[in-house]
Amino acid sequence: MNESKSILVLTTGGTIDKLYFDAVSQYQIAESTVTKLLAVARVTHGHQVEEVLRKDSLDLTEEDRARVVEHVSRASNSRIVITHGTDTMTLTARALSVIPDKTIVLTGALAPARFSESDAAFNLGMAFAIAQTASPGIYITMNGSVFRGDEVEKDRERGAFVLTPRKQEL
């Protein structure tokens, strides 16, 4: 499959790739589960998975975001999915807004993919579908919804992504 139709999946870390380590009684970012999730789902659409970062999104720096933007800019693929921690996903979406003519979809999880009751596989599936069908732009897909990257924020109390207040008023 040619790269314009193939989907590039970039991993950056976040909850989707967290693993609980008993020895230290905490979660840490581990090797990405994205390749396994796509295999279990029997995805036949052309794709490649590349790790860009392995960090909690609260630890991402502006240099890290620039690295993601650079990676997406250099990619020959026009359809890209990025797995990302939910806390700063909207900041990365804003940073990516300088890239024209590509369909870029950010997604993540509120529970690690390694948990049986995780939202990770569903969110990744939605992102993969949106990457195939949406017009060029920046999107975030979480909680069964698709948002424009500049119209959403994380509501920590609800554990969900919602339209920003100014977008709800329009």
Give the residue from 1, 4, 13 showing the smallest Cα distance to 103.
Answer: 4
**Does any domain span residue 2?**
no
pLDDT of residue 91: 95
Q: Please return the burial class of 89, using the count of CB atoms within 10 Å of its CB with bins 0-12, 13-18 and 19+.
A: buried
Q: Does the structure show a pLDDT above 80 at 83?
A: yes
pTM of the complete model: 0.90
- CB-based contacts of 103: which residues, under 8 Å, 6+ apart? 78, 79, 80, 130, 131, 134, 135, 136, 137, 139
**Does any domain span residue 65?**
yes
Integer Cα distance of 12 and 85 in angstroms: 8
How many domains does the structure of the chain reveal? 1
**Does any domain span residue 152?**
yes
Tokens of 61: 């720096």
Q: Does the structure show a pLDDT above 70 at 75?
A: yes
- We report the CATH number of the domain holding residue 34 as 3.40.50.1170
Domain that holds residue 16: 7-169
**Does any domain span residue 84?**
yes
Cα-trace Rg, the chain: 15
**Does any domain span residue 1?**
no
**Does any domain span residue 57?**
yes
pLDDT digit string (tens) for 101-158?
999 999 999 888 888 888 999 999 999 999 999 999 999 999 899 999 989 999 888 8
